[in-house]
A and B are shown apart, each in its own frame.
Chain A
Amino acid sequence: MVSLKINNQPVSITEGSTVLQAAEKLNIHIPTLCNHDDLCVAGNCRVCVVEQKGARVLAAACAQPAMEGMEILTNSLKVRNARKHVVELLLSEHRADCTKCYRNQNCELQTLANEFSFGDHIFLDLVSKHEQFIDNTSSSIVKDDSKCIRCQRCVRTCSELQKISAIAVSGKGAKMKISTFHDRPISHVVCTNCGQCVNRCPTGALTEKNYIDYVWDAIYDPDKHVVVQTAPAVRVGLGEDLGYDPGERVTGKMVTALKQLGFDSVLDTDFTADLTIMEEGTELLSRLKKALVDKDKETALPMYTSCSPGWIKFIEHKYPEMLPNLSTCKSPQQMFGALAKTYFAEKRGINPENIVSVSIMPCTAKKFEANRPEMRDSGYKDVDYVLTTREFAVMIKQAGLDFRTLKPSHYDSLMGVSSGAGAIFGATGGVMEAAIRTAYEIVTGKPVPFDNLNITPVRGTEGVKEALLKIEGCLKEWSFLEGVELKVAIAHGLTNADKVMRSISTGKADYHFVEIMACPGGCIGGGGQPIPTNMEIRQKRIDAIYEEDMSLPVRKSHENPEIIQLYNDYLGKPNSHKAHELLHTHYIERVRN
């Protein structure tokens, strides 16, 4: 422990803590900007400067270790003047078109400006001197350098959390900027579109590509039947953008809101999450059979999940030799899209040409996924528009809905019923848990041997989780699995994915099945979720997802009545020819830079 004084108030804190943390302990607020709970300390924006008595220069509170006997002033004249200057300088290099900015009222620079530099600007406007370049080549992410304040949160996110470094710092001095490899367009570099940078950008320099107006146009087009699907993680995140605390489930109100916005059919991605389990679980069992019984050396194990489009692009760029290990299953979003314009259209008697398929996702990479050329198995573009949770919240506000007073309602039928297993897809470990719930029962005829079906060993926010499940009491046709210890691993965040890939490719690990989600915490921490994000917020969303699971009458994918109906009426059985045509896909190798 070290003892110090901040603004003359004594405080003790464990050695290795920063002055910022010591101040927090005293409830003294020190403004920050480049600092982020999820990232390493940068100390480069200098907004958090404080005065240390006896020191020649000011210290960045976020980077300065708290030391014995220190006397810190957080609001001296020296500090105030410097901080105001720093904010003014940032504003002078930032294109402050606040009223038109997507991040208006949720911008950290704007908040600081409100506190420190209202009134006339002291300094000259530098933005016009900079090259004003907006990169909107990506179908997921828009990068506007004229709003960038070079805090490097995005750079740290991309390298630390995601181990990609698609964006990095280039140039120096006035020419220093956040750039890609050789300044290539985002669409042409190793970017996985995960959007974690968007979640951590304090300003509007990095945003998702906005498709709100396209969706409104479709809604107002009388000839179009607009189908909407909502991902599992949206219902536990949306509330945050509408004034709720993190972790509030707003499923029923959300469905009502969608209906009031004018969507013709309000359906659920959770339904196709259940379908994914049927297809992917069957694929896993058939791979195991090929490997264990037929001794087929061509069968790639471990099998990797394929729900997360950020992860898919990551492996396409970085580990293309492992593409055969990826499940061929499309993600729930794309399964939904393919069915909306075939099965749903047929059943409802709607010309698929007139269906506009919209999905609401916690994800920015889903926008890219929907635009992949392979994703047209219905004969049309399977998913027309993908909105993030944030864009959806904007639509609710635009429509003037008083969300809090909305009466909860249920999803429409046919592709709107889901099980708890589908819901937990939104949290890291959820796909694994859902898959085990179903696969174990297929193989043994009995439910998984866990209390309330809660497979706790695969839950939690540890970066890489491993679990062993011994299969006992197999049904006759699965007897080759008797006594097999199923080894599984779960990773979330691409840095953790990379660790798992390395241990597999170097032969250090031999799993059967691996779940990977590109984003920290899984989809609940997706790049399209409300801003801000941190560990605490993500944990609350995860808790809410498991509550959602417990609240549902059906908890296993294979018991979802609409899934049973889909196979009976349309697909036949899992991995059938038709299922393969519509619900499975292939992958391509991509550049590494």
Chain B
Amino acid sequence: METKKVSKVDLIFEHIDPRELLTKVHGMTGSDIIEEIIESGLKGRGGAGFPTGMKWKFCAEEKEKTKYIVCNADEGEPGTFKDREILDRVAYKVYAGMTIAGRAVGAKKGIIYLRGEYKFLLPQLRMELDGFHKMIDEVGYDFEIDFRLGSGAYICGEESALFESIEGKRGEPRNKPPYPTSSGLFGKPTVVNNVETLVNSVIILKYGSERYKKMGTRFSTGAKVFSVSGDTLIPGIYELELGMSLLEFVKEFGDGDTKAVQVGGAAGFCVPRKLFASTVIGFEGVPTGGSMMLFNSSRSMYHILHNYLEFFTEESCGQCTPCRVGCQQLLKGVESVKKGESKSTYLNELVKLADTMKIASKCGLGQSVGNAFNSIVENFREEIIY
């Protein structure tokens, strides 16, 4: 597998002239824009990695007049804090990305669903948005952005639960299909993109897909903002090319005693030291929305797993059986094995349950609980039992 060394770039936070770019984009047709994004190979930066250009294309093909661009700024994945930084420093690039997406698919309305805990950013964001609206108006765009605030539920980062929340309902994921591009917010065709994805579309249109593709690997083009935390001497936000091996990553960020890295937050995978060299960070390996949590040998993997399970047990919306009850069973299950109330072989049943949750849950939340659970139980079984 193709892997790369750690390579820092500075594109997301680089200051650009949005008027210049949006003037250029205003001269492009919707399909030109979409072609450029498809060509770049950009995949969603929220974690799921759906090809962005295809998403825009599907939405553009819908005949419905009213369409929406929704920016998912409900950054709730444990260990992820990159969107906050992006919104704090270069919000105008998020607005620009939404405007470009709107132009590409034929939407006139954009909504940023901002994590409730990020409410403190709002006055500044609104002020910047006022200026931005004036600018795009002058350039000739018919596009308007508004904010909606979350109220602290992790599940509302799931795109269809996010729509429900904006619509004033309880944040519960919908059945899919229909997908957002055909029936999203208020039942209208909707593009919903992560904050960072939208900024990437700005980068692509500024520098061209050819240059963009030179970064990263064939399956994971471009760079990504990582939120590095845990047992590291240099926690923080780093923009790195995709496709490096986890070993390279740990050499750069680890404290010399890294025993595992949780890639992709609580919903992601726990990679043990023995697999660092063979693990690629990217869509061909272990994908991540940006969360990289490093753990050294002083950490109990049982406590880490327990913490994740407590998180999911609380943050499941509770709608579907596998997720609502499954999370509780995994949590109570590891507790009972730890206490010796259940046999250690009960872990095998729990792993099977986690497998069921992966395929039978209604949405991505329940489907990803098994990632963390199985990767920790399989690699650190003795720490869970004893």
Contact = CB atoms under 8 A, between A and B. Distances in A.
Contacts of B375: none
A126 B322 contact: no
B324 A82 contact: no
A176 B359 contact: no
B177 interface: yes
B327 A85 contact: no
Interface in A166-207: 168-169, 171-177
Interface string B325-353: 11111001100100000100000010011
Grouping DSSP codes into helix (H, G, I), strand (E, B) and loop, the B interface class, with mixed when no group exceeds half, is: helix
B359 A173 contact: no
A150 B322 CA distance: 12
B362 A172 contact: no
Interface string B163-178: 0000000101001010
A85 B360 contact: yes
Interface stretch (B38-46, B277-285, B312-320): B312-320
A44 B349 CA distance: 23
Interface in A3-61: 41, 43-47, 49, 56-58, 60
Contacts of A404: none
Given A46-B362, A58-B359, A173 B314 contact: yes
A129 B325 CA distance: 12
Given A57-B367, A85-B356, A169-B170, A174 B321 contact: no
A174 B353 CA distance: 17
Contacts, number: 123
A44 B362 contact: yes
B153 interface: yes
B170 A150 contact: no
A78 B358 CA distance: 12
B327 A78 contact: no
B220 interface: no
B359 A126 contact: no
A566 interface: no
A169 B318 CA distance: 9
A368 B175 CA distance: 38
Contacts of A124: 329, 332-333, 336, 342
A82 B360 contact: yes
Given A58-B360, A129-B332, A86 B324 contact: no
A93 interface: yes
B325 A93 contact: yes
A89 interface: yes
B327 A41 contact: no
Contact of A176 (B319, B326, B329, B367): B319
Interface of B: 153, 155, 170, 172, 175, 177, 312-322, 324-329, 332-333, 336, 342, 349, 352-353, 356, 358-362, 367
Given A86-B360, A124-B329, 11 more contacts: A47-B321, A57-B358, A63-B175, A64-B175, A82-B322, A90-B325, A124-B332, A126-B328, A126-B329, A129-B332, A173-B316
4 shortest interchain CB distances as A-B pairs? A176-B318, A89-B325, A63-B175, A85-B356
Interface of A: 41, 43-47, 49, 56-58, 60, 63-65, 78, 81-82, 85-86, 89-90, 92-93, 122-124, 126, 129, 149-150, 152, 168-169, 171-177
